[in-house]
């Protein structure tokens, strides 16, 4: 009996050792969630398609047009959300990160975002009632994630954890929840669920939340930024990314390509600051 237990123990140790060896701690992974501005609304230019292989995207849906398969890593050439989306803050977040990290560090993103959605879509316990009353155009996007974007995000994140380490969460959402004073609490529900489902610790998993189009650009949802600003009161390890001066397009709802580039770099600047302070 003792011999069998000893054998089982040795096998378990070996298995755990193999798993830890397979996970590359120098492969930093970030989860990206939100609505259209995280999904990517602006058309990307040729300059946006030149990407260092150290910046990767884990495809969250099958994209025959891009020759990409769900659950596999690719160089992060846009689109990074679904098969026909546009430029997002994640594009220049990743570029800026690898430009400022050691050359042996890779950065990966998983982008699960749905244009026009409320934060309720990512509440794993209540999303069904929200989707059931949503317009058909939103339902069609949700269908691409088998009806449950949150579950798809977790599924992809668990795949990513076999290869690298989740370092943070990027959020850009709020336009559809404008003036919703409960938004911060709803975001906390999503954040807490992700921590639990992916076995992450709050102190080492910052949440970076971007402002919607700023009032200085005529943003029609700019009043939401006052609520976004209070997020750190509800989630201590959250950080607000300013959209001040980020150009938008004619609808005053979405950023332009240049706006996404600037905003993405600001997400990265904050993350790099967090990483630097954590080493002190």
The pLDDT, as a whole number, for residue 1 is 47
Average pLDDT, the chain: 93
Q: Alpha carbon 222 to chain centroid distance?
A: 22
The whole-number average pLDDT for the span 108-135 is 97
**CA-to-CA distance for 38 and 41, rounded, in angstroms?**
8
Burial of 128 (0-12, 13-18, 19+ CB in 10 A): exposed
pLDDT at 14 over 80: no
More reliable by pLDDT, 172 or 18: 172
More reliable by pLDDT, 248 or 11: 248
The pLDDT, as a whole number, for residue 5 is 44
- Tallying the residues shown for the chain, one arrives at 280
- pLDDT tens figures, 125-155: 999 999 999 999 999 999 999 999 999 999 9
Model confidence, pTM: 0.92
The whole-number average pLDDT for the span 21-48 is 93
Query: Could you check whether the bond before residue 94 is cis, i.e. omega within 30 degrees of 0?
Result: no
Burial of 263 (0-12, 13-18, 19+ CB in 10 A): buried
The pLDDT, as a whole number, for residue 280 is 61
More reliable by pLDDT, 131 or 8: 131
Q: Integer distance in angstroms from the first to the last C-alpha of the chain?
A: 49
The pLDDT, as a whole number, for residue 63 is 97
Place of tokens 């959402």: 173
The pLDDT, as a whole number, for residue 23 is 84
- pLDDT tens figures, 70-91: 999 999 999 999 999 999 999 9
Cross-sheet strand order for the sheet of 27-34? 73-75, 55-58, 106-113, 27-34, 165-172, 207-210, 238-241
The pLDDT, as a whole number, for residue 279 is 78
pLDDT at 182 over 50: yes
**pLDDT class for 22, splitting at 50, 70, 90?**
low
The pLDDT, as a whole number, for residue 11 is 41
**CA-to-CA distance for 79 and 65, rounded, in angstroms?**
11
CB 198 within 8 A of CB 166: yes
pLDDT at 48 over 80: yes
Annotated catalytic residues are 36, 251, 254
Q: Which of 15-29, 59-73, 74-88, 117-131 has the lowest mean pLDDT?
A: 15-29
Q: What is the DSSP letter of 82?
A: S
The pLDDT, as a whole number, for residue 153 is 98
């Amino acid at each position: 009996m003792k011999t069998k237990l000893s054998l089982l123990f040795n096998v378990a140790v070996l298995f755990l050792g193999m798993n830890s060896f397979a996970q590359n701690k120098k492969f930093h992974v970030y989860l990206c969630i939100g609505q259209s501005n995280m999904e990517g609304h602006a058309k990307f230019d040729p300059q946006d398609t030149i990407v260092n292989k150290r910046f990767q995207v884990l495809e969250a849906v099958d994209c025959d047009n891009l020759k990409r398969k769900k659950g596999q890593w690719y160089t992060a050439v846009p689109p990074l959300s679904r098969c026909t989306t546009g430029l997002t803050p994640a594009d220049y977040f990743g570029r800026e990160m690898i430009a400022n990290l050691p050359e042996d560090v890779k950065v990966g993103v998983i982008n699960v975002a749905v244009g026009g959605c409320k934060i309720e879509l990512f509440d794993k316990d209540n999303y069904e009632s929200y989707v059931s009353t949503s317009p058909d155009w939103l339902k069609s996007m949700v269908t691409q994630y088998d009806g449950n974007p949150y579950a798809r995000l977790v599924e992809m994140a668990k795949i990513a954890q076999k290869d690298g380490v989740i370092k943070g969460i990027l959020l850009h959402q709020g336009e559809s929840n404008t003036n919703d004073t409960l938004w911060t609490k709803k975001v906390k529900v999503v954040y807490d669920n992700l921590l639990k489902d992916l076995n992450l610790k709050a102190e080492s998993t910052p949440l970076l939340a971007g402002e919607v189009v700023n009032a200085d650009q005529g943003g029609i949802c700019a009043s939401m930024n006052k609520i976004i600003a209070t997020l750190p009161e509800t989630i201590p390890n959250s950080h607000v990314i300013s959209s001040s001066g980020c150009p938008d397009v004619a609808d005053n709802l979405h950023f332009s390509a240049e706006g996404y580039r600037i905003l993405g770099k600001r997400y990265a600047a904050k993350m790099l600051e967090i990483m630097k302070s954590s080493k002190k």
